[in-house]
A and B are shown apart, each in its own frame.
Chain A
Amino acid sequence: GDSVTQTEGPVTVSESESLIINCTYSATSIAYPNLFWYVRYPGEGLQLLLKVITAGQKGSSRGFEATYNKETTSFHLQKASVQESDSAVYYCALGGNTNKVVFGTGTRLQVLP
């Protein structure tokens, strides 16, 4: 079936360090997968961080980037220099069928000041 596997948390990094949260997907029933990163900040609801619907393209938002790699079926989330305000839970998700979006387990990120 369709599935998403991402870095198991919690992930702890110090402010200004670089970050990568891995995400790989399996899209057995979706011909043209769309890939997403959602984020839940403390005390807030789950919201879209970025999305990419075309293989080979890169999405970016709030200093985060992710490239849709069809060959390696990956969509890793990266940031060159994290801030304490980036502390949150990050979810990789797979879509392509408007009736179904599959999420990973979420990765809790803690950024130390």
Chain B
Amino acid sequence: AQTIHQWPVAEIKAVGSPLSLGCTIKGKSSPNLYWYWQATGGTLQQLFYSITVGQVESVVQLNLSASRPKDDQFILSTEKLLLSHSGFYLCAWIRGASAETLYFGSGTRLTVL
């Protein structure tokens, strides 16, 4: 069975500090991976997607970056956090190219002060 693990569960960070969020998928080779973000009261927005190691496409510009260093790992990061980065970050993978069911991690709650 496939499992998806996100870390950390929650972060409280200062404006201007760096950030790194992680996501690992086990039990599925070469998954399509996604980062989503939801501000409090906002829409779930797709930020990035990756279909293979080393390749990441940006969907929304939020002064964030993503990398896929391994087949089963997806990292979201920034050098300098903004207040507007606060929210809930979700990693997801898709099961099969045509089925398009997204399987989500449990998410990371980020508070920027």
Which of the residues A53, A98, A104 comes within 8 Å of B43, measured between beta carbons? A104
Interface residues of A, count at CB 8 A? 22
User: Which of B16-24, B64-72, B79-87, B94-102 forms part of the interface with chain A?
Assistant: B94-102
B18 smallest CB distance to A (angstroms): 26
Closest to B59 in A: A100
From A53, A99, A105, name the one whose CB has the most chain B CB atoms within 10 angstroms. Answer: A99
- Complex Cα gap A46–B51 (Å): 21
Which of the residues B45, B102, B106 comes within 8 Å of A38, measured between beta carbons? B102
Set of chain A residues within 8 Å of B7, measured between Cβ atoms: none
- Give B11-30 as 1s and 0s: 1 = Cβ < 8 Å from A's Cβ atoms: 00000000000000000000
Complex contact B100–A95 (CB within 8 A): yes
Contacts A48-B103, A102-B46 supplied; 19 other A-B pairs, CB < 8 Å: A36-B101, A38-B102, A45-B104, A46-B107, A47-B104, A48-B101, A93-B102, A95-B100, A98-B97, A98-B98, A99-B32, A99-B51, A99-B57, A101-B34, A101-B100, A101-B102, A103-B43, A104-B43, A105-B42
Residues on A close to B: CB < 8 A? 34, 36, 38, 45-48, 51, 53, 91, 93, 95-96, 98-106
